[in-house]
Chains A and B, each alone.
Chain A
C-alpha cells in the first residue's frame, strides 16, 4: 500500500480512478445498491443460504450474462429522478392537451361502431399486457447487477404504469360515450380468450418467469417489448389515424416515446455487456433466438387484428414486417443482430 497521503477527495471514492468531473446523473446513480458490493459474502447480511441470497446468486451473480463491472454502464438518457418527473410531467401536459382539444369537439361520439369494436378488442385490452410488462421491469430492477440498470428499469415500470393509466382513462371515456360496446367490462375476457391475443399472452406470461436477469432483459427489453410497442403503439396508431381516430393516434404516438427510450438503454446495456466480455454476444444471441419465435407469434396475432377488424385495415404483412424491423433495429443497436439473420 502506498504511504503517500491520500489525494484530496473531490467526488465519491466509489468512482475509483476517475479523471473527470462526474455528472449529476453519475453522482446520484453510481453504485447505490450495496447488495452488489465487492467482496460480498453473501449479498445480504444474513444466513448465506437464505432463499433470497440463493436467488441473487443464481439469477444475478451467476447469470450467463456477466461482466467484471456493471457500474460502467450509462443510461444514454442519463435519467435522474428529477429529470424523469420533470420530463414526464411535461408529456402528461401534452396528453392533457390532446384530451381537452378532442373532448371539445366531442370526438368519441363520432367514432363508427366498427372502429369502436376495434378499440374494445385491441386498444383497451392493452392494459393487461402493459401491466405484465410493468411487472417484468419491476423484477428486472430488483435483480439487476447495478443501480445504473435498476433505475432504468424503475423508470420503465413507471412508464408502463403511465400507459396502463392512460388506456384506463380512455377506456372509461369510451364507455361513457358508448356504454354498449363492452368498454371497461369486456377486456379481461378478450385478453384471456381472443385467439389473436393468445400468443401475446403466452409470451408475456412466459416472460414473467424468465428469472435470470439477463434473460429477462433480453426477452422483454430486446425482443418482446420492441415488437409489441411497434404494433400496439406505432402500427395501431397508424391504423387509428387512417380510420379517422386522430386522438388514439396522438396518444399512442406519445406513449411510443417512452418505449423508444426504453429500447435505447436496453440496447446500450447489451452493447456494454458485449464490450466488456465478447462472449456475452453468444449468451444474448442464444436468448434472442429462444424468444424471437414467441414474439413473432405474438406479432402475427396482433397483425391479424389490425388487418381484419377495422374498416380500413392494415396489411398483416406490413405490420409484421414493421415489428420485425423494430426488433432488428434494437438488436442492431445492441450489436447482436448479425448472428441471427
Chain B
C-alpha cells in the first residue's frame, strides 16, 4: 500500500457538511454573518478552491519557509546592517510595521469568521490555513520590528499604532474594519482575499521587497517575499466565492469590488506611494509608484475582473488621474504634519529628486513645486514654525484622509475642494465623489466621527496641536521629524528660487 496522492482522499476531508436538525440552521449560519443573499444555499456546494492544500503539505511547506526566514535573521543578527540603512528606507519600514502588522492580525479574525460562517466546508477548511498564515505574518513583522526598539523607539509603534487614535490608525481601522470585520463572510471573501489580497498586496510585498533589497535591508525583503507566497495561496478563497456570486448576484459582486478597490487605492497612496517616490533613495528607485501601479495593479486587476465578467469600476478615470496626484498630496501632508506620525518622513525634494519627480510626473512642478519652494524658503530662513501646522486638515467622512488629497493644487479637473453631502440636517464632507457615494450606500455601517468631528465635539482638550498630539498618543520621542534634518534644503540657499508664496503653512 503506497502513500496515496492528495487528490485521492482530499474530497473526503471536504465532504463534512450535514443536515442540522437539533438547532435552527439560521441560528448556526445567521444570514447577516453568512451572507448568502440571493445565492441559493445549494450553490455553495460547488465552492472549489483552485489551490489544494492538505494539512501535512501545509505544515511541511510552512516549516521550511519559517526555517529560511529565521535562518537569514539569525545570520544577520550580529551584523550592523541597521546602522547602515538609509533613514528614508527606515521610514518606509516603520510605515509598514506600524500600518500592517496588526492588520495582518485583523485578517486572522476575518479568516476565522470565514472558517466558522462560510457556507461551504471546503471554504471553512481553507480559512483555517488562512488564519494560520495571518498569524505568521503578524508574528514575523513583530519579531523583526521588536529587534529595533532599543535602537529606535519609533519601532514600538509596530504594535502600538492601532491601539492609539493616531490619524493613520483611524484611517487603517476605518478601512479594514469596513473590509474585513463588519461584512458577512461572502462580502469579506470578495473584499479581502479577492480585491485586496489578489489585487493589492502585490504592491506592498513585491514592490517593497525590491526596494528593501536595493536599500540593503535583506531581512525585511526576505520576510515580505515569504509573506507574499502565503497570500498567493489563501487569497484564492476569493475566486470560488466570486464565481458563485457572479452566477446569482453579479451586481452585488461588482459593488463590493468597486468600493474595496477604491478604498484600497486611497489607502495605498498613503501607505506605499510616499515610500516609493520619496523615501526610497533615488539611486534605488526602479519604478515610480504610478508605473508600478499601472503595471502591477491596473493591468493585473483589469485582467482579473474581466476574467470574471465584471466591468471596470465607475470611477476608473478618476482613479487613474489619482495616480498622478494622490500620493504627492498625501506625502506633502504627512511631511507637513510629521509630528503626527511615528516615523521620520524624508522630504525627498532635493533638486535631483525633483527632476526625477518631474520626469515621472510631468505636472509635478506646476502642482507641488511652489508649495515645497515655500517650505524650503522657510527652512532656509530658520522659520521652522512656517513648516509646521497649527491645526488639522478637514478629513473625509469615508476614508478619513484629508480633504484635498484626492486632488492637487492648480488642477482644474480635480481641484482641492470638499464634496459635501447633507443628510438628516448634518453636512458630511468627502475627499472625492466615490468616497461620498460609497458612504451614502454604506452609511449605516460607516457612520463614525472623524478626528475633526471629535475635536469640534470638544472631546480633544486642549483643542490645539499639543492637545491633538496627546489625544493621538504621540509622545515626544516618537513624533516624526524630517529624516535628514532638513539637510536636503541647503542646496537651495543660493540662488533662492521662490515661486507662488501661497501654500506651505496653510492647512
Contacts and interface: CB of A to CB of B under 8 A. Distances in A.
Interface of A: 6, 8-14, 24, 27-35, 37-38, 44-48, 50-53, 80-82, 84-86, 88-89, 92, 95-96, 99-100, 102-104, 106-108, 127-128, 130-131, 134-136, 138-139, 141-142, 147, 150-151, 153-155, 157-158, 161-162, 164-166, 168-169, 171-173, 177, 184, 188, 191-192, 201-202, 205-206, 208-209
B183 to A, nearest CB: 8
B139 A80 contact: yes
A192 B18 contact: yes
A46 B124 contact: no
A166 to B, nearest CB: 8
Nearest to A105: B1
A44 B3 contact: no
Nearest to B155: A9
Contacts of A139: 112, 116
B457 to A, nearest CB: 13
B116 A86 contact: no
A33 B125 CA distance: 22
29 contacts: A6-B477, A9-B153, A11-B146, A12-B159, A27-B146, A32-B102, A34-B163, A34-B173, A35-B109, A35-B177, A37-B162, A44-B177, A44-B181, A92-B56, A135-B115, A138-B127, A139-B112, A141-B112, A142-B116, A150-B109, A150-B112, A157-B112, A158-B55, A161-B129, A164-B16, A172-B12, A177-B1, A188-B15, A201-B22
B20 A85 contact: no
Interface string B42-64: 00000000000011101110110
Given A28-B139, A89-B59, A192-B18, A14 B149 contact: no
Given A34-B162, A52-B181, A10 B142 contact: no
Interface in B148-162: 149-150, 153, 156, 159-160, 162
B124 A28 contact: no
B63 to A, nearest CB: 4
Given A28-B139, A108-B1, A151-B135, A165 B13 contact: yes
Given A154-B112, A154-B128, 11 more contacts: A12-B156, A32-B138, A44-B173, A46-B182, A80-B139, A82-B139, A86-B66, A92-B55, A92-B59, A142-B109, A202-B22
A316 B209 CA distance: 60
Nearest to A171: B12
A42 to B, nearest CB: 9
Interface string B90-116: 000000000001100110110011011
Contacts of A202: 22
Contacts of B10: 168
B149 A9 contact: yes
Interface stretch (B324-332, B362-370, B443-451): B443-451
A47 B19 contact: no
A13 B21 CA distance: 50
A136 B156 CA distance: 34
Contacts of B153: 8-9
> For chain B, what secondary structure do more than half of its interface residues adopt (helix, strand, loop), or is it mixed?
helix
B18 A13 contact: no
B66 A205 contact: no
B66 A81 contact: yes
A182 to B, nearest CB: 13
B113 A142 contact: yes
Contacts of B18: 128, 188, 191-192, 201
Contact of A138 (B4, B19, B62, B112): B112
Given A103-B2, A139-B116, A46 B475 contact: no
A136 B136 CA distance: 21
B16 A107 contact: no
Contacts of A206: 22-23
B412 interface: no
B468 to A, nearest CB: 16
Contact of A134 (B22, B124, B139): B124
Nearest to A36: B163
A141 B101 CA distance: 18
A81 B136 contact: yes
Given A89-B63, A157-B115, A205-B28, A10 B150 contact: yes
A205 B112 contact: no
Contact of B9 (A48, A108, A172, A209): A172
A259 B121 CA distance: 22
Given A82-B70, A138-B128, A173-B4, A12 B146 contact: yes
Contacts of A165: 13, 54-56
B28 A209 contact: yes
B174 interface: yes
B105 A147 contact: yes
B132 A81 contact: yes
Nearest to B113: A142
B143 A24 contact: yes
A188 B139 CA distance: 39
B170 interface: yes
Given A138-B112, A154-B132, A161-B55, A89 B60 contact: yes
Given A27-B146, A165-B54, A184-B12, A32 B159 contact: yes
A96 B56 contact: yes
Contacts of A162: 55
Contact of B160 (A12, A27, A151, A171): A12
B163 A14 contact: yes
Contacts of A6: 475, 477
A161 B125 contact: yes
Contacts of A205: 20-23, 28
B24 to A, nearest CB: 8
B297 interface: no
B431 interface: no
A258 B352 CA distance: 60
Nearest to A154: B131
A172 B56 contact: no
